[in-house]
Amino acid sequence: MSVSVETAAYVRPMPGEYVGGDAAVIRDIDDGLLVAIVDVLGHGSEANELASQIADFLNRTPLTEPEEVMEALHRHIRGSRGAAAGISRISTAAGTLSYVGHGNTQARRLWRNPARLISRDGLIGSHVRSAQAQTMTLSPGDVLVFYTDGVKDRFELSDYRHAISDTPRFIARNVVEMFGKEHDDAACIAVKVGD
């Protein structure tokens, strides 16, 4: 079943910093979108430099399967300070999402059939085990959020009921502003699924 999607991202450096080590990538691909959330170790300009390098790689790679993208990214930044990342392929034609994550990144469906996709232990650029993509069928009305560990993970839809009716731009920003940690960079991508 084909679906449509609306997306938005919001990235906030740690309070007191001008730039941070979190990044969000949303890129059109043949049958949908490549969506990636990234959290580089550390804060400030050095972390931002690697986050920008990763975002550039994710925007340029011809690969679209999350497992392949993750493996290529790991090789690309090998020997760096490292990062956590969650990479998803959303097929609007098939109405599916596939996800691979390493480190403290989160991928969740908040409404109807709440679900979490699990990120494995590991640090991209340093040590990761190969991971098989997890898949999820998408339905109109689904609200998906992808976020870094700068966002408190213990929130539920009951803590943010307007996520059902808000636009992705408001959802991404509100998740960071309502649940973001004061001592860390924070980033969120929001996806709303339509007919």
- The residue written with tokens 């969506």 in the block is 35
Share of the chain above pLDDT 90, in %: 87
pLDDT at position 85, please?
97
pLDDT at position 78, please?
96
Question: Domain limits at 159?
Answer: 4-194
**Which of 80, 87, 16, 89 minimizes the C-alpha distance to 53?**
80
Q: Evaluate if residue 81 carries a pLDDT over 90.
A: yes
Q: How many domains does the chain have?
A: 1
| Mean pLDDT rounded to a whole number for the chain | 94
pLDDT at position 155, please?
86
pLDDT at position 162, please?
83
Q: Is the pTM of this model over 0.75?
A: yes
CATH code of residue 138:
3.60.40.10
Q: Evaluate if residue 153 carries a pLDDT over 90.
A: no
Q: Evaluate if residue 158 carries a pLDDT over 90.
A: no
Q: Evaluate if residue 22 carries a pLDDT over 90.
A: yes
| Residue 154 pLDDT grade (very low, low, confident, very high; cuts 50, 70, 90) | confident
